[in-house]
Amino acid sequence: MQSLGSRMSRPVAVLMAIVPILCGVAESSLAASVVLNGLKIEIDDDTGTLLRLSHPSTGVVLDASTERSSILTVSAPAPGFTALQLEPRLSRATISQAKDAVTLTWDALQPNRSPKRGTSGGAVRAEVTFRAAPDGKSVILRAQIRNQSQLEVSQILFPDLQGLRPFDEPERMELRMALGAVNPFAGGVRPEGRATFYPHGMWREYPSDAQYQRNALRWMDYGSLKGGIALFEKQWLTDPRPSILTNRNEADPNDLRIAWQHRVAVQPGGNWQSAEYWLTPHRGGWAKGIEPFREYAATQITRKFPVPDRIRDGVGFQTIWMMQGSEPDSSRAVYRAADLLRVARDAKEHGIYEIVLWGWCIYGQLPVRIHPAVGTFEELAQAIREAKQIGVNITPFVNLKNLNNRNGNVDVAARYGLTPGSGSAWIYHPEAIPAMLPFTAASGQVDVPTSNPVWGTDAAMALSELIRQGITSFAFDVYDDAGSMALIEWTNGVRAQARKVDPDATFAAEPVNGSFERSTRTLDYTWNWMDYVEAGPLQNVLRYPRININVERSARVVKMAFADGLYINALPKAPNLANGTRLIGEEPELAAALKEVVPLRRQFLEFFRDGNFLGESVLSEPVTQFTRRNHGSWIGGATVEVGPFEYPDIFVRGHQLHDRLLVVVLNNDATARSFDVNSDLTLWLPKSKAYRVVQYDGAGKVSGGARRISGSSWRASVSELPPLGLTFFEISPDR
């Protein structure tokens, strides 16, 4: 095969230089080398697979052998071998060069097995292009498949990065997604002392979905505080969204494969074109790598209604559980409409100005009927007006899509063209054994897709009736957009009606099986069953909906959520009763923590409200050693991969507002701690050579006066910070 160096028509200077080199991973492997925006890409000159990636910020990121290298993989199940893979490493590639770009072409991807005679009959052709991005720091990857075979292509892995290596200490390496991170090199490849079924252990899958999955945006970052590579799909509001797969080489635990999984159906004669994938090498933590994605997302986000000030500026909200839906004894109601002003006064005392009501109505029915134990619609509307007069908004929680199989004389399934018993039966009570009763067809519900037009009319009429009675804010249970904009448009229609009555009406929801790309257009905040979660990348890119974190009493969680700018859902619980059955003032630890952080949020509000969240990326090195698990836990029996969070002893979060930084430090340890905090200020404030640093104590008072520093590095020594104690540093250019 002719070498790439001899094929070049002219030399390319500075940005791109291609020369044949001898790759170190296999002595007989001749590789083509290209530098695009500082990223050195080494490609097998025969097969076109990716052998090596390196950048001045990280050093070598990927180092693959010819036997374990790729850039894309195509699945084409064949009779006799359903696991048939078509792989570049088994194929011959043509490598061509244009200005600032390299294209790899495979006229016939070769299979990892020989399919039965008469089933191949043609080839699957593939093409991958690497191109320098106009931002001067990213590389754009794009792939195309032409299926000229007799097999259906069922899956495409692209980008398919084999041979990723730790370029920092392995325990510091992270694969970070929108709602959390894992350490892919934590522990052994196989669990010690166990013999798990191999299919469950060879691959980890991170589905792309809303708040109950880590992979909640089309973005990831592989790296540490030292640097990394970020990768995002330049696509918005489209479905299906690719999952992320990881595989760790059992023969070499420091060999990691990360692939974006596209489940497709490319028929014989069909074509598939990927979106652009932007690969960004970067210094520092994930918050530097996410910048190109944030800039792209900003061009795609529109909102019809502004977020009310109390949501935008507030530290959180409260949820109360008024009545169990399956409880026949009205005397068992925890709260009634007449109690809501008392609840609102208690919430306001603790800096909470938004209250969500669970158990106020009879769920599973349209139109919505108030639970008799709670009161009447008139009494509820009166309580909402009284609470609003003291500055507290009350938001009833509704479920309009999980409906009982029969609603009076109405056959609900028939009305919406669905199968009876097609939904879950949400039957629960503290005295039930178990507390959540299992689903049965007799007690089941119909789960109505939110794209159903008949349902859309019925549900809108139900909320319109509530709006006419003065109930204007809503929290929507099971906010499943069904892969379309129908639910978003429906919500905006309801909101338009509500805002005519109350310009500050809110709309919250539980985003599930849907897309934050859509829900950011209309939701003010989320109501999800979530303990603390690292939502930094999501917050960095999408300001709204504000992401809720539920807290029963933990001061630690309150303070971590405050430091992140998450939206605290105060959910105090009486013993042996449902969530939300206590006032905040009846839970001393929660009450004290809220009273501590509410004035602090007010003091530093502009950073939280208008700044960019940097998380721990503000650090140039870890404060304490911290190793994550390589996977999360299941929540609620669903395919959920967020939480529980393992917090570091010293919890540091950064917020950037233009040319200023706020660094929040929390001692999460059980004893007083002394430590240093380090940051490379050139990453965040590159135009300054001298800086002014002001430290504040946990009450927000200046501690020690202002300090002037010069140079690129900032180091602060913190002495004897008490358990769960806070301190703050505000850094700005010294002009």
In CATH, what number is assigned to the domain containing residue 648?
Answer: 2.60.40.1180
The two tokens of residue 318 are 């409260």
CA-based Rg of the chain, rounded to a whole angstrom? 28
Distance (Å, whole) CA 684 – CA 631? 31
Cα dihedral angle (176, 523, 384, 502), rounded to 10 degrees?
A: 150
Which of 269, 298, 327 corresponds to the end of one domain?
298
- According to DSSP, the residues that pair with 232 across neighbouring strands are 219, 278
b or e along 208-238 (b: 16 or more beta carbons within 10 Å of the residue's beta carbon)? bbbbbbbbbbbbbbbbbbbbbbbbbbbbeee
149 and 268 Cβ atoms separated by less than 8 Å: yes
What does the pLDDT average to over 252-279?
Answer: 97
Distance (Å, whole) CA 454 – CA 310? 35
How far, CA to CA in Å, does 275 sit from each of 89, 158, 175, 473?
A: 23, 10, 22, 38
The two tokens of residue 536 are 């930094």
Q: Is residue 391 part of a domain?
A: yes
Q: Which of 115-119, 135-139, 149-153, 334-338 has the lowest mean pLDDT?
A: 115-119
- Are 418 and 458 found together in one domain? no
169: Cβ–Cβ under 8 A, 6 or more apart, which residues?
224
Distance (Å, whole) CA 600 – CA 605? 8
Distance (Å, whole) CA 460 – CA 493? 8
Nearest to 576 by CA among 360, 362, 358, 429: 429
pLDDT of residue 410: 81
pLDDT of residue 432: 87
Structural domain total, the chain: 4
- Indicate the pLDDT class of residue 440, thresholds 50, 70 and 90: low
- Are 275 and 351 found together in one domain? no
Write down the mean pLDDT value for the chain: 90
- Are 320 and 290 found together in one domain? no
Q: Is residue 182 part of a domain?
A: yes
- Are 175 and 251 found together in one domain? yes
Strand 174-177, strand 153-164: pairing? unpaired
**pLDDT tens string 304-326:** 999 999 999 999 999 999 999 88
- Are 234 and 344 found together in one domain? no
Q: Is residue 200 part of a domain?
A: yes
Distance (Å, whole) CA 55 – CA 47? 23
Distance (Å, whole) CA 593 – CA 533? 19
**pLDDT tens string 179-188:** 999 999 988 8
pLDDT of residue 419: 81
- Are 290 and 314 found together in one domain? no
What does the pLDDT average to over 124-140?
Answer: 98
280 and 292 Cβ atoms separated by less than 8 Å: yes
Distance (Å, whole) CA 102 – CA 533? 40
Is the confidence at residue 98, as pLDDT, over 90? no
What does the pLDDT average to over 101-107?
Answer: 97
- Indicate the pLDDT class of residue 117, thresholds 50, 70 and 90: very low
Q: What's the pTM value of the predicted model, to 2 decimals?
A: 0.92
**pLDDT tens string 403-426:** 988 777 788 889 999 887 767 777
CB half-sphere exposure, 687, CA atoms < 13 A:
6
Q: Which of 497-501, 682-686, 702-706 has the lowest mean pLDDT?
A: 702-706
Identity at 215, one-letter amino acid code? N
Q: Is residue 303 part of a domain?
A: no
Which of 610, 640, 675 corresponds to the end of one domain?
610
DSSP state letters, 115-169? PPTTS--S-EEEEEEEEE-TTSS-EEEEEEEEE-SSSPEEEEEEEEEEEE--SS-
Residue, of 80 and 118, whose pLDDT is higher = 80
- According to DSSP, the residues that pair with 52 across neighbouring strands are 42, 63
- Are 468 and 442 found together in one domain? no
Distance (Å, whole) CA 39 – CA 133? 11
Which of 447, 476, 505 corresponds to the end of one domain?
447
Is the confidence at residue 562, as pLDDT, over 80? yes
- Are 411 and 435 found together in one domain? yes
Q: Is residue 642 part of a domain?
A: yes
Residue 649 φ then ψ, to 5°: -60, -40
Share of the chain above pLDDT 70, in %: 91
**pLDDT tens string 83-96:** 999 999 999 999 99
- Are 527 and 566 found together in one domain? yes
Residue 53 φ then ψ, to 5°: -125, 135
Residue span of the structural domain in which 123 resides? 4-298
Domain of 526: which CATH number? 3.20.20.80
Q: Which of 42-46, 59-63, 254-258, 635-639 has the lowest mean pLDDT?
A: 635-639
What is the DSSP secondary structure assignment for residue 421, as one 8-state letter?
T
**pLDDT tens string 229-238:** 999 999 999 9
The CA-CA-CA angle for residues 176, 182, 184, to 5°, reads 105
Is the confidence at residue 116, as pLDDT, over 80? no
pLDDT of residue 639: 39
Q: Is residue 183 part of a domain?
A: yes
The two tokens of residue 363 are 């769920």
Is the confidence at residue 434, as pLDDT, over 70? yes
Is the confidence at residue 274, as pLDDT, over 80? yes
- Are 250 and 382 found together in one domain? no
Q: Is residue 675 part of a domain?
A: yes
pLDDT of residue 120: 53
Residue 4 φ then ψ, to 5°: -65, -35
- Are 222 and 97 found together in one domain? yes
Q: How many other C-beta atoms are found inside a 10 Å radius of the C-beta of residue 283?
A: 19
What does the pLDDT average to over 664-682?
Answer: 96
Q: Is residue 304 part of a domain?
A: no
How far, CA to CA in Å, does 659 sit from each of 234, 601, 612, 727?
A: 28, 20, 11, 21
Distance (Å, whole) CA 180 – CA 630? 11
**pLDDT tens string 462-498:** 999 999 999 999 999 999 998 999 999 999 999 999 9
Residue that is written with structure tokens 């990453």 in the block: 683
Is the confidence at residue 21, as pLDDT, over 60? no
- Are 715 and 652 found together in one domain? yes
What does the pLDDT average to over 264-268?
Answer: 96
- Indicate the pLDDT class of residue 636, thresholds 50, 70 and 90: very low
- Indicate the pLDDT class of residue 628, thresholds 50, 70 and 90: low
Residue, of 115 and 189, whose pLDDT is higher = 189
Question: Would you say how long the chain is, in residues?
Answer: 735
pLDDT of residue 405: 83
Domain of 68: which CATH number? 2.70.98.10
Residue 530 φ then ψ, to 5°: -130, 125
